[in-house]
Amino acid sequence: MNIPLFKIYNDQEDIDNLSKEISSGGYWAVGPKVGEFEDKLADYIGSEYAVTLNSGTSALHALLLAYGIGKGDEVIVPSYTFISTANSPLFVGAKPVFADIEEETYGLDPDSVAEKITDKTKAIIPVHYAGCPARVREIKEIAEDKDILVIEDAAESFGASIDGKNTGTFGDSGILSFCQNKIITTGEGGAVVTDSKEVYEKLMLIRSHGRLESGDYFSSANLFDYVDLGFNWRMSNLTAALGLSQLNKADEIIRLRRKHSEYLSKKIAEVTDEIKIFNPPKAYNHVYQLYSMWANNRDELLDYLSEKGISAKIYFDPVHKSAFYRDKLGYVDKLPVTEKVAKTTITLPMFPELTEEEINYMVDTIDAFYNGD
């Protein structure tokens, strides 16, 4: 049996939505579907505004620009994350400062965050790892006392929540990713969600060359003025059309991920105590964008699963240990929990169309590894 790490959940609606826009002969770049997708995103997440961009990385970069973060500023980030979280402060001339994580959510440890704050700290970027909310409420309390921004990296946690409130809405603003392995996907794409009209208006300029948009640039006879420096970070109309049909399936996608993850956790617990299952705090709604777990003999297990056709993976190597941060930037941080977790965590396949047969095969393979064939 061969089980991929992920499969994109798609149906005829995705094909029809995209085909309709392609066959229109126009609006392949900007177009009405972008605004429609943004409105529905904001409504789903529970924010006043949503601004789409061409990637989650662009969304984070643009948001730091919108808040005026730059040279001489510090931004607290986890090291246990995809590298764009840490790189984004560098994009604007600021310095990423690594805080440690805690073992229950794999998100930033509020105590470690508090220790890293200086008079140069302008923002904290908690990451909701694997689809599990971080302790963002505690981090927000710390930040408010110091007048520091909280920018949520909710790239992996679309639809995750704490007490019914969605990730991305606890901080000052949040970012989403629609890369191909995320909860909903447009292939590539991202968004900022925010309640700030000022931030929203700045983002609209930043993503489109600093241009004041007063209509469709490609079909309007009007001249458009450029009032700031910006980038070409727009989401295309084609991409937004796909996003709309994916958004219609979001609740079902999350339901299936949770169902499969609960079954997989139950079965693993029955065959071995060499694995520690992710167990989020009460009232934390984990959406399992990744199915990650702590495992004894992690590296050997990874090789064994690969030999048996199961595409497991390590998410993530600590950013501060990468050659770029270690050798070129000179980072020498000691983050004991991050380093412990990074050495022992493994991610198994998880996607909506995962079958019970495939789950049982993964469990049997894990059983064979720890307990013998």
What are the structural domain ranges in the chain?
A: 12-250, 251-371
**Domain 12-250 coded CATH 1.20.120.1200:** no
Superfamily of chain region 251-371: Aspartate Aminotransferase, domain 1 (3.90.1150.10)
Helix (H, G, I), strand (E, B) or coil at 150: strand
State how far the Cα of 255 lies from the Cα of 371, in Å rounded to an integer: 32
CA angle 149, 150, 152 (to 5 degrees): 145
- Of 5, 77, 138, give the one whose Cα is nearest residue 338: 77
Q: What is the pLDDT of residue 221?
A: 66
Q: What is the pLDDT of residue 258?
A: 98
The residue ranges of DSSP E strands in the chain, in sequence order, are 49-53, 74-78, 95-99, 121-124, 149-153, 161-162, 165-166, 173-177, 190-194, 275-277, 284-285, 291-295, 345-348
Per-residue tens of pLDDT for the chain, all 373 residues: 999 999 999 999 999 999 999 999 888 888 999 999 999 999 999 999 999 999 999 999 999 999 999 999 999 999 999 999 999 999 999 999 999 999 999 999 999 999 999 999 999 999 999 999 999 999 999 999 999 999 999 999 999 999 999 999 999 999 999 999 999 999 999 999 999 999 999 999 999 999 988 777 776 767 788 999 999 999 999 999 999 999 999 999 999 999 999 999 999 999 999 999 988 999 999 999 999 999 999 999 999 999 999 999 999 999 999 999 999 999 999 999 999 999 999 999 999 999 999 999 999 999 999 998 6
Q: What is the pLDDT of residue 223?
A: 79
CA angle 356, 361, 367 (to 5 degrees): 125
Give residue 263's identity as a one-letter amino acid code: Y
Q: What is the pLDDT of residue 213?
A: 81
